[in-house]
């Protein structure tokens, strides 16, 4: 009973629940939308598929426009509801963590997630419905060990919109450069391990 009172009286989501929720939501999105659009909700992932040459540059531009439009709409809605508290939901480095260290963490984290996506891609969906849990748990795991370092964003759209609306312009570069560099690193590693893309990867990158 004491634990229940503590949990419900702090008005905060505990650390474990926060990252498990994000991982589960990632898995749900993949299951729900992979066959429609490839479930691209992360500009870094779309960038990685483009570097992998299974996604065209014009489609990259279109997906980026849609991803950032969605993120700004969501951030604006949250700002309307919560006002300046939106800054609490924006990704940011942990206390006393240098910005460069946070950016390097984003490189590593995004590389882990992107490599998981690339190595589990199938023709049925952009990362494959079979891979939904693998990717979801990768996202959650990255949050567990690196959330205190960089906020474990791994997604420019998820972070940049609330940062801009809350006036945290000095942090934008971390969550733009870090994830894109991480995606590029994952593509390079995947190329060394698996070689050139095949037909199934090209189908996976676009959904059906």
Q: First CA to last CA across the chain, in angstroms?
A: 49
Is residue 51's pLDDT more than 90?
A: yes
Q: How far is the C-alpha of 54 from the C-alpha of 50, rounded, in Å?
A: 6
pLDDT digits 0-9 by tens, 94-137: 999 999 999 999 999 999 999 998 888 765 544 456 678 889 99
Q: Which CATH superfamily is domain 13-89+99-204 in?
A: Glycerol uptake facilitator protein. (1.20.1080.10)
- Read off the pLDDT band of 2 (50, 70, 90): very low
Residues 41-70: what's their mean pLDDT? 93
% of the chain with per-residue pLDDT over 70: 81
User: What is the pLDDT at residue 6?
Assistant: 43
In angstroms, the Cα distances linking 3 to 7, 10, 18, 19, 130 are 6, 11, 18, 20, 36
Domain boundaries, the chain: 13-89+99-204
- Average pLDDT of the chain? 84
Q: How far is the C-alpha of 107 from the C-alpha of 154, rounded, in Å?
A: 8
């Amino acid at each position: 009973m004491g634990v229940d009172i503590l949990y419900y009286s702090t008005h905060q989501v505990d650390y474990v629940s926060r990252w498990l929720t994000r991982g589960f939501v990632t898995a749900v999105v993949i299951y729900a939308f992979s066959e429609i659009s490839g479930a691209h909700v992360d500009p870094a992932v779309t960038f990685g598929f483009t570097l992998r040459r299974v996604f065209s540059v014009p489609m990259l531009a279109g997906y980026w426009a849609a991803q950032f439009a969605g993120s700004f709409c969501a951030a604006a809605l949250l700002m309307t509801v919560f006002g300046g508290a939106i800054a609490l939901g924006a990704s940011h480095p942990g206390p006393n963590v240098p910005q460069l260290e946070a950016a390097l963490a984003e490189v590593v984290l995004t590389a882990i997630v992107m490599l998981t996506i690339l190595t589990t891609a199938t023709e049925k969906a952009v990362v494959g419905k079979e891979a939904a849990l693998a990717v979801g748990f990768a996202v959650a795991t990255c949050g567990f060990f690196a959330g205190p370092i960089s906020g474990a964003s791994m997604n420019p759209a998820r972070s940049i919109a609330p940062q801009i609306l809350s006036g945290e312009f000095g942090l934008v570069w971390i969550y733009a450069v870090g994830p894109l560099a991480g995606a590029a690193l994952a593509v390079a590693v995947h190329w060394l391990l698996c070689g050139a893309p095949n037909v199934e990867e090209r189908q996976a990158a676009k959904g059906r």
